[in-house]
Amino acid sequence: MTPSDALIHKYNQQIPRYTSYPPANFFIPQSGETLRERLMLSNTSKPNNISIYIHIPFCSQQCWYCGCNSSVCSQTDIIDTYLQSVLQEIASIIPLLDSSRKISQIHFGGGTPSLLKIEHIETLLNLFSKTFSYTDSAEIAMECNPADLSFTYISDLIKLGITRISMGIQDFDHTILQAVHRKPPHIPIHELRKHIQSLGAQVNFDFMYGLPYQTLDSFKETILQAIANRPDRLVTFSYAHLPSMKKHQQKIDDLPMATGKEKIQMLYEAYHSFTQAGYTAIGLDHFALPEDSLAQAVDKGTLHRNFQGYCSAEQTGQVYAFGASAITQLADSFFQNTRNFNDYISAIQKNNSAVESGYIVTQEEQLVSSLIESILCNKIIDWEYIAHKNNRDLTSTKAFFSFAHNSVSDLISDNLLAETNKGYRVYEQGKFFLRNIAAAFDPNMYSGKTKKFSSSL
């Protein structure tokens, strides 16, 4: 049973996605000098592992739904120049990091990383392996557009050490793909999936709900096809329609799109179909087979979340990010590079740094961050755990969040949250309102600091 219309109306609010805390729209100007200072301090902070993110901002064509930082470009010389700048940025950062630390995660994101040539990827990976070793459970993942993939390219990726390929399918319905200006794959998805898994790598299917022309029935069909393929992980992202911020989204502004109850029914249908098919729910919209590291982390209560998504405690690391718009996520700070790839290239060539904005996180904000992460990852609040993690006593930790009393009372009355001996746990129905529950414990939501966020449902 989906939540009632009254609950959907009440909690369909503009609130953060909480990929970070504070969210990225709280970032303020930062300098390369401050970044270097924080990078060196990160060597003595927890977690000790290193997580790498490399942003490739290029796509062969613009998808009208896209909310990523990307530009249409397939010109080899521009991509080559950009990658030389990325290599230069990496080379300037590596000497600041303790070489005894280990890499637990590398993620190629975009844009469309699968536009890169194999030799580009090999050069990038070699730059890290010359200095650092890897943890036993290290993951090297790459986001790919299925329309770009060939069997040979996949084989070459896995030979280089890629352990996970995420395919941005979005929907199996070619009519919907055409409406959002996305190319369909020329090799059937089930053949790509089979080839990836046969070579020992894992595969993700990424979908988006709330796109133009999607209906509950059409999305059910996509879900059934996904289950039949049996990928290792599945993700169902909520489409965020913000045409005032993403001008290309205006091209689909007049097309019919599910909102409110119909949209949440899509998520609900996916959630129950995937879990009934044997997948473990990861947070709200991620799903993994029981033997997957994320599913095991859920069982252990050790799930973590960063800008790359969910990961296990073993793969968790401070994030060192490279490329245009990339966000470095250290234990106590964030630093984001300039978004425009031409400006990025110029800045790196001139200063070895393209940092533009960021945020130095206070101890109180780290406290809020750990509580929100616990909600989004493990659907509980354990006051003793939160206090211990932040080196605080139990009484002052609970007292800090006293501002949330009225909102929490509402969540309890609406059967979304339950009080326990240790703190709180999210009810089954509350899993569809995790962002709202997190927002109840966010002091910024009570401070009058107005920021623009997407709708929660």
Alpha helices in 173-287 (DSSP H): 174-179, 189-198, 216-229, 260-276
Longest dimension (CA), the chain: 61
Peptide bond preceding 256: is omega within 30 degrees of 0, i.e. cis?
no
**What CATH fold (topology level) applies to the domain 23-327?**
TIM Barrel (3.20.20)
Question: How many Cα atoms are found within 13 Å in the side-chain-facing hemisphere of 261?
Answer: 8
pLDDT at 449: 65
pLDDT at 242: 82
Give the SS3 label for residue 213.
Answer: coil
Query: Rounded to an integer, what distance in angstroms lies between the CA atom of residue 305 and that of residue 377?
Result: 7
- Asked if residues 358 and 27 have their Cβ atoms less than 8 Å apart, the reply is yes
Judging by beta carbons within 10 Å of its beta carbon (0-12, 13-18, 19+), is residue 26 exposed, middle or buried? middle
Query: Rounded to an integer, what distance in angstroms lies between the CA atom of residue 200 and that of residue 221?
Result: 28
pLDDT at 403: 96
State the 10-residue block means of pLDDT for the chain, 457 residues long: 80 87 93 97 96 95 88 85 97 98 96 94 97 96 96 98 97 96 95 98 97 96 97 93 86 90 88 96 90 92 85 92 97 96 97 97 97 94 96 97 96 96 94 93 84 64
Query: Rounded to an integer, what distance in angstroms lies between the CA atom of residue 27 and that of residue 113?
Result: 26
pLDDT at 386: 97
CATH number of the domain at 1-20+362-447, out of 2.20.25.240, 1.10.760.10, 1.10.10.920, 1.20.1260.10? 1.10.10.920
Q: What is the pTM of this model?
A: 0.94
Query: Rounded to an integer, what distance in angstroms lies between the CA atom of residue 188 and that of residue 191?
Result: 5
Query: Rounded to an integer, what distance in angstroms lies between the CA atom of residue 10 and that of residue 429?
Result: 14
pLDDT at 428: 87
pLDDT at 451: 66
CA 70 to chain centre: 16
Task: Kindly list the domain boundaries of the chain, sorted by start residue.
Answer: 1-20+362-447, 23-327
Helix axes 151-160, 189-198, angle to 10 degrees: 30
User: Could you tell me the two tokens for 285?
Assistant: 């919209």
pLDDT at 383: 98
Least Cα distance to 210 among 232, 248, 180 occurs for 180
Alpha helices in 107-259 (DSSP H): 118-129, 151-160, 174-179, 189-198, 216-229
| pLDDT tens by residue, 241-267 | 888 888 889 999 999 999 878 888 898
Give the SS3 label for residue 243.
Answer: coil
**Helix, strand, coil percent values for the chain (each to nearest 5):** 45, 20, 35
